[in-house]
Structure 1
Amino acid sequence: MRSVAFLTAGALAVPLLGACSEEDPAGKPVAGQDIAPADRDLIADGGTLRWAVDAVPETLNTFQADADAATSRVAGAVLPSMYRLDAGGRPRRNADYLESAKVVDREPKQVVLYKLNQQAVWSDGREIGAADFVAQWRALSGKDSAYWTARNAGYERIEKIERGDNDLEVRVTFARPYADWKSLFSPLYPKQVMGTPDSFNDGARRKLKVTAGPFALKEVDRKDGEVTLTRNARWWGRPAKLSELVLRAVPRKDRAKALADGKVDIAEVDAVQAQRVIAAGRDSETASGRPKGRAGGPANGRGLASPGGERTPAKELRSWAIAHGSDEEAADKETSARKKRRKAVAAHAAEQSALRGFEIRRSLEPAYTQLALNGFDGPLADERVRRALARALDRKELATLVLAPLGLPAEPVGSHLALAGQPAYADSSGALGDQDTEEARALLADAGWEQGAPLKKQEKKQEKKQEKEKKAAGSEKKKDGKGEGAEGDGTSVVDEDNKSKVKAEKKDGEDQDGEDQDGEGKEREGKVDEAQRLAQDGKKFKPGGAPGAYAPKGTRAPSGGAGGAGGPRGPLAKNGKPLTLRFVLPSGPGTESLRAVGERIAKMLDRIGVRADITKVADESYFKDHIANGQYDLALYSWPASAYPATDARPIYAKPVPAADGSLSVEQNYTRVGTDQVDQLFDQAIATLDESETRSLIRKADARIWAAAGSIPLYQRPQLVAARTSLANVGAFGFETPVYEDMGFLKKDAKGAKGAKASGSPMPEKD
């Protein structure tokens, strides 16, 4: 199965179908690519580009279960692909391999005729041809269990593959109609890889002896964590500008340092590291008298997590006094600590200076973050409760929280099955309805959840215990001004890493529904301040700053007691049990914004009487042990957008069915919510060869997925890439398939589309 759920990994970019007019609901991509485009004649010949990846790929076979983003990057540079995406998210025939491809027969069987580029050859000199197509089909058809394949979507529908009128033609006959036939044979592996189970299962994991791209695989060095690609001498297309492309494994938390140390030239980074690069660039511009660059970060590094940045003059004075005091033991300790701080500050300053040679290129990934609601059992098994939670969410506010501080358009995603600009996209969220707190409360009441319903004795004891903990936590927060969790929302935050629990206390000056009496001016100011603060370090919200927490002018005084606006005084209850849901979130570095979004969602749910107990878990167990196993009520995770939703999205939204052993087979539907009607629409879409009809069926399926409220798309994921200013045609690609042969370093004094100048040699020294 092609789709992969992830938190921080890059999305899988695959070709799209069809085209649309300005009136088409697909529209245009919300954000364009940002790759510092430059003509090839402005790029120096030669050089080594070192590109950060999460890890050296476990396999070089993209059709195996442990393939990852680095696997796809290698395949994109060294193997044929029949179709690729342009910057606008539209498919383009890859002329380097394919002269044409079209459906030549529909009855009695669908037949697709491929005409290959007559110059296309493998690195061993053999022509790319029907034998390679046949070998890949047989390996991925699912008929031979000796092949350890992770997916075979589409290949199982092929009946036969034959040579056409000549060696350059390949005829593919389908046993059943297949709308997504363009998804096949991308990438295409040589018959030497696909020909036998052994070569497929093991041979292609560590090496690819035969390739056919602008680059060839030179070496996989697991000890040093590098994959080296070199220019392919037999490449018939435009020659690669780079001599070498090195993929180097660098943990995401260490990427700013790796950039500063010259270990990599380009790396995808998180928001905090991006702010460091932006601040370094601004410092450089200020020093040189140049105008400031693009918006997107605090000037002069304000708010960045630098060593000693949190120390006040009072603390420094106290430190000096201790270091020069009469207590020799304390003075020695403080003197040593001061030296360490000075050393750390100097190292940080040196890194900032080195980061001046980089810039941030930003776009939106072809992937979106969603709120998943586990409908297997418990309160969320009731569709009315799921719909109520969905209606309580302000998706625009959540998108703004994450994207606006990064200088990216904050548009909520309106489809589960495509993103704006993709042919199948249409905003179908109207099938569920806009944010409406009163409607959410009405749905919960209809489901039997009532305010002030009697609680069981055990639940009452638990409530009293929680109140005591809340007061204790509040006292601690007043002492030091700090606290863990979503402030002011009454939610519980549990950290499984240290087994500590802190209860958030209502903020001073707010009623229980978060209403502030200071008016609209402070609301607007609070929104801006908090959005900027989130982008910098993901810290919790301060009193008076939570966006959306103020009643508009003219709102009647609350009539429902302390709950505000008629709101509940506490969680709703049914059959003696409160409406409390376990909200699972990751705890690792780089997921700060995800946790901030989760805390904001918990606050929104609290307003309708739903308590969300936030549980923070280690990243490595987050998906495997909680999402996939159904050990959650609410969770946040991302799905990559597919160009072929009829094929790729079906297992994500298919109705779970009982397995032979009595368990529930969910495929990739981790919310356990599905309907027969959605399944039928997917089946019709995949068997329809009329592209406009396929799009229509996909949009109908999406509307029904919205209505079932098993998952709520929130926002498209940001894509932030730090790159040397001298690099061209590489960065935040958005929808585009990277064009590896055009990447390179600008010639000295050459300017790209953004006016970036090359800084010194086009080939940075290799460390």
Structure 2
Amino acid sequence: MRRIGTIARAAVVLLLCALLAACVDRPAPQQPPPPTTVAAAEPTRLVVGIDALGAGFNPHLLAHQSVVTTALATLVLPSVFRPDATGTLHLDETIATSARVVATDPFTVSYELNVKASWSSNAPIAAEDFVYLWEQMRSQPGVVDAAGYRLITDVRSRAGGKAVDVVFSRPYPQWQQLFSGLLPAHILKDAPGSWTGALAGGLPASGGPFRIVSVDRARGEIQLTRNDQYWATPAALDQIVLRRVDPTTMADGLRVGDVDVALPEASPMVRQALSALGPGVRVQEAPQPVVTDLGMRADGGPVSDPRVRHALAWLLDRAALRAAVAPDALVADAFGLAPAEPGYAPTAPAGAPVHPDPGAAERAFTAAGYVRDADGRWGRDGQPLRLVVGAAAERPQDVRLAEAIAAQLDAAGVGAAVVAPPAVDLFAGGPVPPTPPPTSAPPTPTDAAPGPTPATPSSTGSSAAPTSTPVPAAPGGVQVDLLVLPRVVGGDLGSRLASDYGCPHPTTGVAEPPATPTGFCFPALQPLLYRLLTEPADPATTAAVERVLWAQLPALPLFEPVTLVVSTPAADAATGIGPGPLQTGPMTGAQRWVQPTE
């Protein structure tokens, strides 16, 4: 019993010790330090000042041609071949690992596509994109350089769409010119109006180092960001912002660093604004890949007679027109090469209507059956000669040029009215809404709002009251007799001449291919154009084509616009920006640019 008692007392002592130990204060456990807040790094970006956003961003449409469209196509859209600084094409292996002629009968080109190449939507860049572009180029009106695509008879898919065989009806030596600026077929092929409408507000997917995240026409801004889905070397910059600015704002922005690079069209006003910045700003000239022509409708109306076309050309003072709207532009005197292209030389023969000659104009009008009345107005069969001059509403310089042309014609006794329909309608070649030009040219109509409301076009003439009668508004629209027409240059000369002046022929799948914007088709010229298209370049054939075109005069070449490439020293160091290849422009290589630092 004594042993049990001893054990019990020991247990009580141990219990008391444990209770006492529990009552002793102990230091509170240490709390982890609060997390350190790390400031998010500001995205790197570069701001490019531009004149206008333009009508849209399809690089294959005449209606959408602009400095901005060229830049976006270069940075966002995939191309099988790309030009170097000299214009020589090289395979872009981020898109295709090989492209070669594999058969000559029929002529067949095989493309092996990069298995990693994909759109930012995660769809692969594949054969369906080749098919979509081919089908649109041979069937849609107002496209750029369609002749090569019209030689294609089939586009076949292999390897789950990652290999493509393209079959031609005839050998095509310049096949490397094709399939640049591929578009995302999986998004566009079933979208109504996709060829124009879906690309008027941006590019829905990217296959290049940048992608478009927003197009804000009200603010005049396009924001590009690095394409995180891009499979090749990523862009160095997080963002590129294209911002619409006027010359004064552009100069101020460059001065304070709000604008890094500017791409305005060359003009005395712009040069004067930039001169205030002093020698610290670098200004380079970059001719644009377009020539501005005065297209003359050849498939109907009074201008379908080549004698009338020559008479009108002899009435016009091209130097005065250029001085009025584009004094810094390059004079264009050829139907093929542009003044900025290697090998360019004027092709106008002696006696061509490149300078005003009222006597020659009178002789041509008289030969076509026209006479002048007592007021000096030209007419035939008792009806005055009245013409409609068209310019795209989204191209303010073109509208000003159309008004200057109409004024010169009116002063010479030819009634003229100006219409400014949407570019897509004008370059499609058919009747257009009879839309008058704005009373004062805004910076860019479509940057702020849709096209103008159709109405009866206004007459434009000399400072005196115009004597011509406005063209009546008809339910089906009005037919344009003369149109300010951008002609895309660069690339293969033979393909361009065949595209711009050839007669489209029916093909399998396209029974009625669209005509050119002027409707010009001269059957005697077609064998020469076909030879230029399907055989190696021949200077003698090119010269013969130029002679025929000066005799038929489907258009009157006017000038090649010039863009200024303006950059600060910091921007020069960060970008090395220059004019770039004619076809891809100053923003070629922008994926390697970095943010300028002062």
**TM-score, with normalisation over the residues of structure 1?**
0.51
Q: Among 109, 113, 121, which residue is 1:112 paired with?
A: 109
Q: Among 582, 586, 589, which residue is 1:735 paired with?
A: 582
From the superposition, tell whether residues 60 and 710 of structure 1 become closer, same or farther in structure 2 (CA, over 3 Å).
closer
Which structure would you say has the larger Rg? 2
Q: Among 664, 671, 678, which residue is 2:525 paired with?
A: 678
- Counterpart position of 2:306: 383
Say yes or no: does 1:714 pair with 2:558.
Answer: yes
Deviation at 1:269, TM superposition (A): 3.1
Deviation at 1:187, TM superposition (A): 2.4
Structure 1 residues 618-669: Cα deviation after superposition (integer angstroms, max 9, x where no partner): 57599453699664544434322253565566564355999xxxxxx99454
Say yes or no: does 1:240 pair with 2:159.
Answer: no
- Counterpart position of 2:129: 136
Deviation at 1:670, TM superposition (A): 4.0
Say yes or no: does 1:611 pair with 2:413.
Answer: yes
Q: Is the 8 A contact 1:388 1:439 kept in 2?
A: yes
- Counterpart position of 2:76: 78
- Counterpart position of 1:641: 489
Structure 1 residues 668-702: Cα deviation after superposition (integer angstroms, max 9, x where no partner): 5444443112344444444x1x3325x76555444
- Counterpart position of 1:598: 405
From the superposition, tell whether residues 692 and 431 of structure 1 become closer, same or farther in structure 2 (CA, over 3 Å).
farther
- Counterpart position of 2:441: none
Percent identity between the aligned chains?
A: 25
C-alpha distance in 2 between matches for 1:103 and 1:373: 39
For residues 286-301 of structure 1, what are the structure 2 equivalents within 5 Å?
none
Matched letter for residue 706 of structure 1: W
Q: Among 371, 374, 379, which residue is 2:294 paired with?
A: 371
Q: What's the secondary structure of 1:594's corresponding residue?
A: helix
Q: Is the 8 A contact 1:124 1:210 kept in 2?
A: yes
Structure 1 residues 513-532: Cα deviation after superposition (integer angstroms, max 9, x where no partner): xxxxxxxxxxxxxxxxxxxx
Q: Is the 8 A contact 1:585 1:598 kept in 2?
A: no
Say yes or no: does 1:414 pair with 2:410.
Answer: no
Structure 1 residues 541-585: Cα deviation after superposition (integer angstroms, max 9, x where no partner): xxxxxxxxxxxxxxxxxxxxxxxxxxxxx4566545566656567
Say yes or no: does 1:428 pair with 2:358.
Answer: no
- Counterpart position of 1:184: 178
Q: Is the 8 A contact 2:95 2:113 kept in 1?
A: yes
- Counterpart position of 1:691: 536
Deviation at 1:598, TM superposition (A): 2.7
Matched letter for residue 380 of structure 1: V
- Counterpart position of 1:91: 89
Q: Among 276, 283, 291, which residue is 1:280 paired with?
A: 276
- Counterpart position of 2:368: 447
Q: Is the 8 A contact 1:584 1:617 kept in 2?
A: yes
- Counterpart position of 2:13: none
For residues 279-678 of structure 1, what are the structure 2 equivalents within 5 Å?
279-281=275-277, 285=278, 360-375=283-298, 379-391=302-314, 393=316, 395=318, 406=328, 410-415=330-335, 417-420=336-339, 422=341, 427-430=346-349, 433=352, 435=355, 437=357, 438-449=359-370, 455=373, 463=375, 570-571=376-377, 574-576=380-382, 590=397, 594=401, 598=405, 601-602=408-409, 610-613=412-415, 615-617=417-419, 623=426, 624-625=432-433, 631-641=479-489, 643-644=491-492, 650=498, 652-654=500-502, 667=514, 669-678=516-525
From the superposition, tell whether residues 215 and 673 of structure 1 become closer, same or farther in structure 2 (CA, over 3 Å).
closer
Q: Is the 8 A contact 2:331 2:339 kept in 1?
A: no
**TM-score, with normalisation over the residues of structure 2?**
0.63
Deviation at 1:370, TM superposition (A): 1.8
Q: Is the 8 A contact 1:115 1:169 kept in 2?
A: yes
- Counterpart position of 1:308: none
Q: May I ask how many residue pairs the two structures share in their alignment?
A: 491
- Counterpart position of 2:210: 215
Unaligned runs of at least 5 residues, structure 2: 1-41, 427-431, 436-475, 507-511
C-alpha distance in 1 between matches for 2:560 and 2:175: 27
From the superposition, tell whether residues 422 and 696 of structure 1 become closer, same or farther in structure 2 (CA, over 3 Å).
farther
Matched letter for residue 589 of structure 2: V
Q: Is the 8 A contact 1:49 1:244 kept in 2?
A: yes
Q: What RMSD in Å do the two structures reach over aligned CA positions?
A: 5.3
Unaligned runs of at least 5 residues, structure 1: 1-44, 286-292, 294-356, 464-569, 659-664, 748-759, 761-767
Q: Is the 8 A contact 1:103 1:112 kept in 2?
A: yes
Q: What's the secondary structure of 1:229's corresponding residue?
A: strand
Q: Is the 8 A contact 1:727 1:743 kept in 2?
A: no
